[in-house]
Amino acid sequence: MSDLLRLFFVIAFLTLGLAAYFLVVSTLFPNRVARTKSAIQSTPARSFGIGLVNFVFFAVIAIALFSGAEKSGPFIKTLLTIPALLITALLATMLSFGLAGMTSLIGERILPELTSWRQSILGTVCLCFACAPPFVGWFLLFPYAGLVGIGAFILGLFQREPKS
């Protein structure tokens, strides 16, 4: 029972932190998040494909660099670790924007009458708890949401500003 309670607390704290995180991301970069959200809405399958291709590529490169750094001397280790960390940071950034757009879209679809920040919080809570169940949440829903998010972020980079 106490393990279950502990798990619940971990998920609850994580949800709280992530809700604030996505809210801040949406507030600081509203255009970027809006474009990501629009890409998820209009082309989810393409977003997933682009997300998968790019995630695999960058993850392989990062693992290869980290792995190479482990086996090398101090100088080469530093030389390889820096790009590896940069690639990891790039992946984390893409994932952050992607999930911020995803949570906003989920919130909007569940309760369209709410304000945008409430929709973002609602989306984060729903996504966090939906990704918590073992196996289906960990290995299906979360990778899907993450990869669609990454792909939508990349697609959003190529979207043009609407002509005024």
Partner 1 sequence: MNHLSDELLNEYLDNALSNRASVEEHLAQCMDCAARLTALQTLFAEIESLPEVTLSRDLAAPVMLKIKGASLSPRWLTLTIVLQTALALIAIIITAPLVKQFAASSVSVLQPPSLTEVFIRLQSQWVLWLDMLSQLRMPVMPEIPIIEVSSLYFLLTLAGVSMVWLVGNGLLLRNQIKQ
Which residues bind to partner 1, rule: CB under 8 A? 2, 5-6, 9-10, 38, 41, 46, 49-50, 52-54, 56-57, 60-61, 63-64, 66-67, 70-71, 108, 112-113, 151, 154-155, 158-160
Distance in Å, CB of 31 to partner 1, minimum: 14
Distance in Å, CB of 57 to partner 1, minimum: 4
d(CA 4, CA 120): 27
Q: Which is nearer to partner 1, 75 or 160 (CB)?
A: 160
CA distances from 24 to 2, 29, 39, 66 (A): 33, 8, 20, 31
d(CA 100, CA 92): 12
89: Cα separation from own chain's centroid: 12
Q: Which is nearer to partner 1, 32 or 46 (CB)?
A: 46
Distance in Å, CB of 22 to partner 1, minimum: 19
d(CA 120, CA 103): 6
Q: Which is nearer to partner 1, 27 or 70 (CB)?
A: 70
DSSP annotation string for 44-93: HHHHHHHHHHHHHHHHHHHHHHHHHHHHS-HHHHHHHHHHHHHHHHHHHH
Q: Which is nearer to partner 1, 8 or 129 (CB)?
A: 8
Distance in Å, CB of 117 to partner 1, minimum: 15
